[in-house]
A and B are shown apart, each in its own frame.
Chain A
Amino acid sequence: MAIERDALVQILLRYRMRLTACAAVIARDVHAADDIYQQVVLAALQAADSFRDRRHVLAWALRAARHRAIDLAHRRRLVPLPDEILDQMEADWGDAEVSWSDRAEALHKCLGRVAGPAREVLRLRYSEGLTAAMIAGRLRRTTDAVYQMLSRTHRALRRCVEMEMGRLDQPAGGGVS
């Protein structure tokens, strides 16, 4: 039985974060990934009658987002990950039973605790889309220093999310820097 269009929109909204991330990790541009997500939603609405269920929608949308992101990556001359890796990651993203809502909420809490230069570097890298070299020029640091700061911040966020989710035996509420 086909899915109603309103239900289809609800499903795609529910999976928005992972669809955007799926495209972003290939295109390496969150704003472009957001555009791709919107294209996928429009394409899904055009093909609404052909979807069987929630899993089918997610699998189709992940594949559509991936193809669009790969096209963009080619145009931008980005070195892609091998297809077999993208296949594996697509399968990982496609587990419809895994809920990301708790994780996303924890992540937003942790992002709120990022402070100082780490916060600025994250913003410049992912909100403004500047490369590490451009950030280095703007902040008068070396490119390697920017890479190190980004790398540390990603690890700190990862630890913070784990703590928030109670997976590590550590008190929550610390800063992330």
Chain B
Amino acid sequence: MKDAVDPRLTDLFVRYWDNTLVPAEHDELAARLAADPVARDEFRQFSLQAVAAAEAGCVNLAAPRPKLSRRQAIGLAGGGIAAGVATVIFGRHYWLAGDDAPVRLTSSSGDVRMRTPAGESVAAIGAMPPDSFISTIGPNSSAVLRFADGSDITVSGESVVAVGERGRNLRILRGAATATVASPTRGAESITLTTNEATCTRLGGAVLTLSRSLQATEIAVKTGRAAVSDAAGDPLEVVHSGESLTVRVDGQHRKQPVEPVSEQCLLTATQPLPQGWNVGRIETSVGGPPAFVPVLWFDPYHNAPMYQIRSDHRWHKGFAQLHPDSKFVVKYWVDRAGPSQLIAIVRTDNVAAPDTGVVECNGAFEKAKPGQWNVLNVRVGDMLDSKHAPRFESPWIAFLIIFNTYKEDLGLRVAEFRVIPPGPAA
């Protein structure tokens, strides 16, 4: 059969994707694409192949896909590619290996999915087949992976991780993971943690958090230390206990001390949105302060488009340390009152513990006076009447803040969000 595809074009494509073309080859590729519509079409077909291969993980997807699948909905919601491909099979996980499996999913809460290289996905704990993906979907979802050397890794929030190298490496594709790495035994290497921007090695005995956004990887070490190298394998820094290192996609990096989570917090819209801010935008209006305003987005928990403001995910930094007598104070505006929520997703004060809970004020803006600035003042201890309330003792570390007005655009504007610590008013 005649080869319908020009081999030279695929050679150039794979090395273009790797950014390893020499200038002459780059010029050759550009000339071909500029002059030949067929070459451009082929090039686009190859990029579609790359996307499909990444989404499928090269699994057998012979069955036709629905036009609007749960996968697409999750993908839209930010659940991630690996999560998206998953079709959850609620039932016995027939792929379970023996107790000597190098990695096991030992516990999970919320929506947690494991996808094997063969494409099966299960919502259950057990041994992880080699090269599997784990995805946690929704802010209060988490999973704990136990490695053969005794290391535990907690994956939380909207995260996707892959286990490779026979269980010696965890790759964080999106979101956050906290590792409690076992002390090294003689002759054994500890696990490594990688992202596109950085690789952490020599982790024996360390407790650290890696979080990855579109722009950067952040490594925060609670105890022990981590040797961090860049994407090319060149050493960057050794990060010690109480330090964090941010490695940007362009390779620039900065090390700084990790501050303890404060009992108070102030968010105003007078500054640009923090890097990684999830949903919402800042709007400035004549005669009023700048404010956070919600946007319509697809909420994976409710499985519906909703008007929300969702902060960035600060698993290790946290927004504030909460106690029952802490207070949320929100300066806000609505064009009309209606169903609404103020939510804080919280963890324990042990960054390595996977437990999370939800502190929520339902009807937060229902009693507002429309068309003027209002102040919501609510005690954290009065926000615990829900089935998702934290089942662990305070202090609770708020790592994600959500304002939700469901399917209605109430014209919400949040000018100021404060956490006030317990104690007498100043």
Query: From residue A144, how far is it (CB to closest CB) to chain B in Å?
Result: 10
B44 touches A92 (CB 8 A): yes
Given the known interface contacts A9-B298, A154-B13, A159-B4, the answer about A111 and B249 at a Cβ–Cβ threshold of 8 Å is no
The one of A30, A82, A89, A147 in contact with B15, judged by C-beta atoms closer than 8 angstroms, is A147
A81 touches B30 (CB 8 A): yes
B72 touches A151 (CB 8 A): no
The one of B5, B41, B295 in contact with A42, judged by C-beta atoms closer than 8 angstroms, is B295
Which interface residue of B15, B33, B58 has the most chain A CB atoms within 10 A?
B58
Which stretch, B19-27, B89-97, B414-422, touches the partner chain A?
B19-27
Query: From residue B249, how far is it (CB to closest CB) to chain A in Å?
Result: 5
Q: Flag A142-155 by CB within 8 Å of B: 1 or 0 each.
A: 00000110111011
Set of chain B residues within 8 Å of A38, measured between Cβ atoms: 75-76, 78
Set of chain A residues within 8 Å of B305, measured between Cβ atoms: 5-6, 9, 45
Which stretch, B46-54, B329-337, B356-364, touches the partner chain A?
B46-54
Given the known interface contacts A6-B305, A105-B64, the answer about A89 and B13 at a Cβ–Cβ threshold of 8 Å is no
Set of chain A residues within 8 Å of B76, measured between Cβ atoms: 9, 12-13, 16, 38, 41
Set of chain B residues within 8 Å of A79, measured between Cβ atoms: 19, 21, 26
Q: Given the complex of chains A and B, what is the CA–CA distance between A32 and B213 in angstroms?
A: 9
Query: From residue B159, how far is it (CB to closest CB) to chain A in Å?
Result: 12
Given the known interface contacts A30-B81, A154-B46, the answer about A138 and B165 at a Cβ–Cβ threshold of 8 Å is yes
A34 touches B75 (CB 8 A): yes
Which interface residue of A17, A36, A111 has the most chain B CB atoms within 10 A?
A111
Question: How many interface residues does B have (CB within 8 Å)?
Answer: 80
Q: Does B42 interact with chain A (Cβ within 8 Å)?
A: yes
Q: Does A140 interact with chain B (Cβ within 8 Å)?
A: no
Question: How many interface residues does A have (CB within 8 Å)?
Answer: 84
Which B80-101 residues have a C-beta within 8 angstroms of A? 80-82
Q: Given the complex of chains A and B, what is the CA–CA distance between A76 and B17 in angstroms?
A: 13
The one of B14, B50, B251, B297 in contact with A30, judged by C-beta atoms closer than 8 angstroms, is B50
Given the known interface contacts A9-B76, A111-B53, the answer about A32 and B33 at a Cβ–Cβ threshold of 8 Å is no
The one of A14, A92, A113 in contact with B41, judged by C-beta atoms closer than 8 angstroms, is A92
B21 touches A107 (CB 8 A): no
Set of chain A residues within 8 Å of B72, measured between Cβ atoms: 13, 16
Q: Does A72 interact with chain B (Cβ within 8 Å)?
A: yes
Given the known interface contacts A16-B72, A76-B250, A112-B59, the answer about A158 and B5 at a Cβ–Cβ threshold of 8 Å is yes
Q: Does B171 interact with chain A (Cβ within 8 Å)?
A: yes
Query: From residue B130, how far is it (CB to closest CB) to chain A in Å?
Result: 11
Query: From residue A138, how far is it (CB to closest CB) to chain B in Å?
Result: 7
Q: Given the complex of chains A and B, what is the CA–CA distance between A119 and B57 in angstroms?
A: 9
A129 touches B61 (CB 8 A): no
Query: From residue A71, how far is it (CB to closest CB) to chain B in Å?
Result: 10
Q: Does A65 interact with chain B (Cβ within 8 Å)?
A: no
Q: Given the complex of chains A and B, what is the CA–CA distance between A127 and B26 in angstroms?
A: 25
B14 touches A150 (CB 8 A): yes
Q: Does A161 interact with chain B (Cβ within 8 Å)?
A: yes
Residue of A nearest to B79 (CB): A38
Set of chain B residues within 8 Å of A123, measured between Cβ atoms: 53, 57-58, 117, 131
Set of chain A residues within 8 Å of B34, measured between Cβ atoms: 82, 84-85, 88
Q: Does B248 interact with chain A (Cβ within 8 Å)?
A: yes
Given the known interface contacts A29-B196, A31-B174, A150-B14, the answer about A104 and B249 at a Cβ–Cβ threshold of 8 Å is no
Set of chain B residues within 8 Å of A125, measured between Cβ atoms: 17, 50, 53
Q: Does A70 interact with chain B (Cβ within 8 Å)?
A: no
Q: Given the complex of chains A and B, what is the CA–CA distance between A162 and B5 in angstroms?
A: 11
Query: From residue B120, how far is it (CB to closest CB) to chain A in Å?
Result: 14
Residue of A nearest to B295 (CB): A46
Q: Given the complex of chains A and B, what is the CA–CA distance between A170 and B33 in angstroms?
A: 28
Set of chain A residues within 8 Å of B406, measured between Cβ atoms: none
Q: Given the complex of chains A and B, what is the CA–CA distance between A139 and B30 in angstroms?
A: 32
A107 touches B52 (CB 8 A): yes
Q: Does B279 interact with chain A (Cβ within 8 Å)?
A: yes
Q: Given the complex of chains A and B, what is the CA–CA distance between A16 and B19 in angstroms?
A: 25
Q: Given the complex of chains A and B, what is the CA–CA distance between A6 and B7 in angstroms?
A: 43
Q: Given the complex of chains A and B, what is the CA–CA distance between A62 and B305 in angstroms?
A: 22
Residue of B nearest to A147 (CB): B14
Query: From residue A50, how far is it (CB to closest CB) to chain B in Å?
Result: 14
Instruction: Identify 8 residue pairs between A and B in the complex whose beta-carbon atoms are under 8 Å apart, listed by A's number.
Output: A10-B68, A14-B67, A30-B51, A38-B78, A41-B298, A128-B171, A155-B5, A158-B42
Known: A92-B40, A126-B51. 20 other contacts (CB 8 A): A10-B68, A13-B72, A17-B48, A21-B44, A25-B47, A28-B18, A29-B196, A45-B295, A79-B19, A84-B34, A85-B30, A122-B53, A125-B53, A126-B53, A128-B171, A132-B15, A147-B18, A151-B13, A154-B49, A159-B5
Name A's B-contacting residues (CB within 8 A): 5-6, 9-10, 12-14, 16-18, 20-22, 24-25, 28-38, 41-42, 45-46, 48, 72, 75-79, 81-82, 84-85, 88-89, 92-93, 100-101, 103-105, 107-109, 111-114, 119-120, 122-123, 125-129, 131-133, 138, 147-148, 150-152, 154-155, 157-159, 161-162, 168, 170
* Pairs A-B, 3 closest by C-beta atoms: A112-B60, A30-B54, A25-B47
